[in-house]
Amino acid sequence: MATSSQSTGNPNGREQMAPRCAAIVGPYLSGKTALLESLLFVTGAISRKGTAKEGNTVSDSSAEARARKMSVEVTAATTDYLGERWCFLDCPGSVELGQEARNALLAADVAIVVAEPLIDKALMLAPTLKFLDDHQIPHILFINKMDVATHRVREMLDALQAVSSRPLVLRQVPIRSAASDSGEVTGYVDLVSERAYKYHPGQESDLIKMPEEVLPREQEARNRMLESLADFDDHLMEEILSDVAPPKDEIYQQFAKDLAADLIVPVLLGEAEKDGGVRRLLKALRHEVPGPEAAAQRLGISGFDASTLVFKTYHQPHAGKLSLARVFGGKISEGAVLNGVRVAGVLKPKGNGFDKVTDAKTGEVVALARMEEVKTGDLLTASGKKNPDFAWPKPLEPLFGLAIDAENRADEVKLTAALAKLIEEDPSLTFTHDTDTHELLLSGQGEIHLAIAFDRLKNRFALPMKHRRPQVSYKETIRHGVKQHSRFKRQSGGHGQFADIHIEIWPLERGKGFEFHDRVVGGSVPRQFIGSVEDGARESLVRGALGFPVVDAAVALFDGQYHSVDSSDMAFKTVARQAMQEALPQCGPVLLEPIFSVEVSAPAEFTARVHNLVTGRRGQILNFQAKEDWTGWEVVEALVPQAELHDMIIELRSLTLGIGNFACRFDHLQELSGRLADKVIEHRQGILQKGAA
């Protein structure tokens, strides 16, 4: 594998690094897209910045993004800074599009976590920071929109530290227009160089004399910074204890070392829309972010001469399938064969499009054209050998689903293929066929997630869709048993049809399913027809007296009659169905609803709200406890009817700043009676009558 430091005679007197990659993540409206625009503008990749409001940004170029004025998928843009190549991955901020951010983060060398300067929104970063720490991904915190900050930086830092398991190390203190901390932020002091800068919108910040009123805050913040770094370096600790001022180069080196090891989180300040603090961020990235070999080692793919990780798939109307990939070793060119698949082309991403290039080297992010057999999460090598140390995480489990149909029935033929392409692009979408309700279900992370999917089906595949709330997989069972005698006789010239049976039906314990017993003696029903009786009884359970599938019932055939000429398999199957239809209404049919085991995760401060949410949806709370390895979070364990789960994630997020989550699985069937049962049965009968008409 190529190393990250490849000397190319950099005029700045520093070894030039291999191309590096930074993923820009953070909550919705934190200013990630504005930061990408600023990074590209400052580095000369674009001559004019766009805005999400105007719909002309580099990253939000799709129809779905412009319609919502928000990022809806990861977008890659390449630029050069001081002779070094960088690729920035702008990730959606919506919690429902979290799969996009996760995939991008795994391929990146560093994450730029963008936060607003609001204490009450700090908690929204908790899931992102937890993912970064779990996967040991280096990350820098960029507190954006400092021009509208109303809280002191120390207060913001304390709130953010509460949701980070790594120490946050402040790199700057703001300069305000007035002595009061509530004054407008006009610049900053760099705590390492101890230089003061004044923001100059659209241009480099001006070096100024440090204001006297800032000096006490600067000294206090600098001491805290050094103490945080000294926790990870004995030599630096000795210098501090001996009142020796550590050299600036040593501090910079310590930042680079600790960031690469994911020991600390450097914190920078800025105003992305005005380019404030962005150049300082670029300098920190350039000097302190490790090269691609560190990410390769973290992913378990080091040691391969040529290895490329696919972390995003696009299906473009004209270009076809594009696999966005990071090269972690070797060189890729058009015509190369990876994992047995030919690379039809190599393209460099530029945000709103791609440019064709001849090849890609270690560290670069490129799109590989028309590799049809390749999917997101694949590690590509020239030999095609599997790397036992590499494992791509499973996609997020779906939390919200809708039943779907094509508006035009003629389009149903191409629906499956279109959905398969959507799921290739976004693995957190799933498409299934419910065998109980016979509905096609599209499931994802929430309403917005599925709305984007429907727009893509319409815009890209000319497939307008209808969607509705899915039916619940209700069942029915019986309370008591009966004996039933039924005869089927039909004469229509020639051979007729004749079958006569006596059966007994009785209920079984919940979860036992269906049982059939042969109790015939004396040959009253010949052996060759007994299987037909069982088949007929089993088929009749598809729809019981209430209109739902029947479960947990046993049937015994104990007597009957036959005709040597007119009896047949079909006659005995028919009489069995007839007997069941006559008997089931007499067995005290009762409705059963599916009950799911649910684990709701949220910060402890929201536990009371979660309790109210669960009980308000007919849930039974079983337990609540601290969530393992999640400081300050709790898990509420409960049993909740499936009928109440459909939109629970929407309400849960509204109660928990968008970060509450849950996992569920089927647990058991439970009797449902009263008004709710009557309403369900009435609705079911209406569906059946409509279908019969």
pLDDT in tens, 58-67: 988 889 999 9
Residue 339: Cβ within 10 Å count: 18
Please tell me the predicted confidence (pLDDT) of residue 8. Answer: 42
Claim to verify: residue 315 and residue 178 sit in the same structural domain: no
What is the domain range of residue 652? Answer: 593-678
List Cβ neighbours of 624 (8 Å cut-off, separation of 6 or more): 607, 611, 634, 635, 636, 637
CA distance linking residue 133 with residue 131, whole number of Å = 6
User: Which of 557, 587, 617 lies at the terminal end of a domain, its last residue?
Assistant: 587
86 and 31 co-located in one domain: yes
Give the CATH number for residue 102. Answer: 3.40.50.300
The one-character DSSP state at 73 is S
Residue 247 maps to a domain: yes
Burial (Cβ within 10 Å: 0-12, 13-18, ≥19) of residue 586: middle
**What does each C-alpha distance from 28 to 91, 125, 208, 403, 480 come to in angstroms?**
10, 11, 34, 28, 56
Is 2 a member of any domain? no
Same domain, 528 and 404: no
Tokens 């004996």 correspond to 483
Does residue 356 sit within a domain?
A: yes
194, pLDDT greater than 80? yes
What span, in angstroms and rounded, lies between the C-alpha atoms of 395 and 427? Answer: 6
What would the mean pLDDT of 234-240 be, rounded to a whole number? 95
**What's the per-residue H, E or C state across 240-266?**
HHCCCCCCHHHHHHHHHHHHHCCCCEE
pLDDT for 476: 98
* Residue 177 and residue 39 share a domain: yes
> Listing from the earlier edge strand, what are the strands of the sheet with 110-115?
75-81, 84-90, 20-25, 110-115, 139-143, 265-269, 168-170
What does the pLDDT read at residue 52? 80
Summarize pLDDT for 545-604 with one digit per residue, the tens. 999 999 999 999 999 999 999 999 999 999 999 999 999 999 999 999 999 999 999 999
pLDDT digits (tens, 9 = 90+) for 457-504: 999 999 999 999 999 999 999 999 999 999 999 987 678 999 999 999
One-letter amino acid at 264 equals I
Do 95 and 188 lie in one domain? The reply is yes
Say if residues 497 and 536 touch (Cβ distance below 8 Å).
no
List, for residues 2-11, the tens digit of each pLDDT value.
333 443 444 4
Which of 267, 290, 313 is the C-terminal boundary of a domain?
A: 290
* Structural domains in the chain (count): 5
- The strand ranges marked E within 429-585 are 430-433, 440-444, 465-468, 475-478, 482-490, 497-507, 514-518, 553-561
Answer yes or no: is pLDDT of 687 > 90: no
Same domain membership, residue 238 and residue 105: yes
For the stretch 517-558, pLDDT in tens is 999 999 999 999 999 999 999 999 999 999 999 999 999 999
CATH of the domain at 566: 3.30.230.10
96: which residues sit within 8 A by CB, 6+ positions away?
A: 444, 445, 446, 447, 448, 449
Based on the fold, state whether residues 220 and 327 are members of the same structural domain. no
* Residue 57 shares a structural domain with residue 179: yes
Higher pLDDT: 145 or 55? It is 145
The verdict on residue 388 lying in a domain is no
C-beta atoms surrounding 469 within 10 Å: 11
539 and 614 belong to one structural domain: no
Judge whether 693 lies within some domain.
no
Residue 662 exposed, middle or buried by CB count within 10 Å (0-12, 13-18, 19+): buried
For residues 388-420, one letter each, b for 16 or more C-beta atoms within 10 angstroms of the residue's C-beta and e for the rest, the string is eebebeebbebbbbbbbebeeeebeeebeebbe
Q: Could you write out the three-class secondary structure of 375-389? A: CCCCEEECCCCCCCC
Identify the H or E element spanning 35: helix 32-42
Task: Give the residue from 262, 290, 318 where a domain finishes.
Answer: 290
| Token representation of residue 389 | 């140390």
Q: Measure the CA–CA gap between 91 and 101, rounded to whole angstroms.
A: 5
Q: Are 312 and 441 members of one domain? A: no
Query: Is 252 within the bounds of a domain?
Result: yes
Domain co-membership, 252 together with 188: yes
- Is residue 11 one of the residues assigned to a domain? no
Q: What is the pLDDT of residue 178?
A: 66
Whether the per-residue pLDDT at 436 is higher than 50: the answer is yes
**405 lies in the same domain as 369:** no
pLDDT at 6: 41
- The pTM score is 0.92
- Average confidence score pLDDT of the chain: 94
390, 356 contact by CB (below 8 A)? no
Q: How much is the average pLDDT of 407-416?
A: 92
The answer to whether position 395 is within a domain reads no
Which CATH number goes with the domain that contains 421?
Answer: 3.30.70.870
